[in-house]
Amino acid sequence: MSKKSNEKTIEKTKKRQVVIVDDHILFTQSLTGLINTFEDYEVAFTCQNGEEFLKKIESIDLETIDVVLLDINMPKMNGIEVMKHLHRKHSQLSVIVLSMEDSEKTVIRMLKFGAKGYLLKDIHPDNLLQALNSVVESGFHHSKLVSSVMFYNMHPNAKRKDKKIELSDKEKKILQLLCSEMTYREIAESLHMSPKTIDNYRMNLFQKLETKNRIGLVIYAIRNDIFRV
């Protein structure tokens, strides 16, 4: 076999490198074993917290990392703090959040900081593999509502307009605040309204924009330039 043929074979068989950042040792070991059974992937290394991970990546070539699987709740430095740092200094890293945390507030925060995917830890192995492939090949994990938020966060010039829906100035203002990290009570206080009034606006927006949750409102606002991440 010629040298060129050999190099092509090595390049073709090289597995994509995955990094796991999670403080639960047994989970990390199980996840490592699972990923290493995937034909095109292997775990390069694992870290037990965000601080350890950020120190590690300062001494390696980031081009060798294809995907980072990041937990949220960890000691020393949690996943949100890690994403903030990566967003500022290493935005080229493709991060998929893998957590038990499913609150809308946390999902929205991680999307704002550039997460390319958001999965819950009870995900089926086939869906995990699909998410890895999607992020590596397309730059984001395209499924469910949060995937739409990720896409429009990553590609601001690709915003598309939904069907024309007339919103009042007050509705737009409340929609913008609903895209923030503020609670409903905090939104009410900032607008000098009662929580019940804000809740009525929220339910009307759900009905008008044909969505069932706060993430759906964020998607609409981003698509239609009412809110920018």
Per-residue pLDDT tens digits for 82-92: 999 999 999 99
Classified as helix, coil or strand, 137 is helix
Return d(Cα 20, Cα 42) in angstroms, integer. 11
Indicate the CATH number of 159-223 among 1.10.10.10, 1.10.1740.10, 1.20.190.20, 2.60.40.10: 1.10.10.10
All CATH 1.10.10.10 domain ranges in the chain, comma separated: 159-223
Residue that is written with structure tokens 């995990």 in the block? 128
Which CATH architecture is the domain 11-157 placed in?
3-Layer(aba) Sandwich (3.40)
**What pTM did the predictor assign?**
0.63
Q: What are phi and psi of 61, to 5 degrees?
A: -80, 115
158-206: pLDDT as tens digits: 445 555 688 999 999 999 998 887 888 999 999 999 999 999 999 999 8
Structure tokens belonging to residue 157: 């010039």
Coil, strand or helix at 103: coil
Residues of the chain with CATH 3.40.50.2300: 11-157
Sign of CA dihedral 30, 35, 38, 39: negative
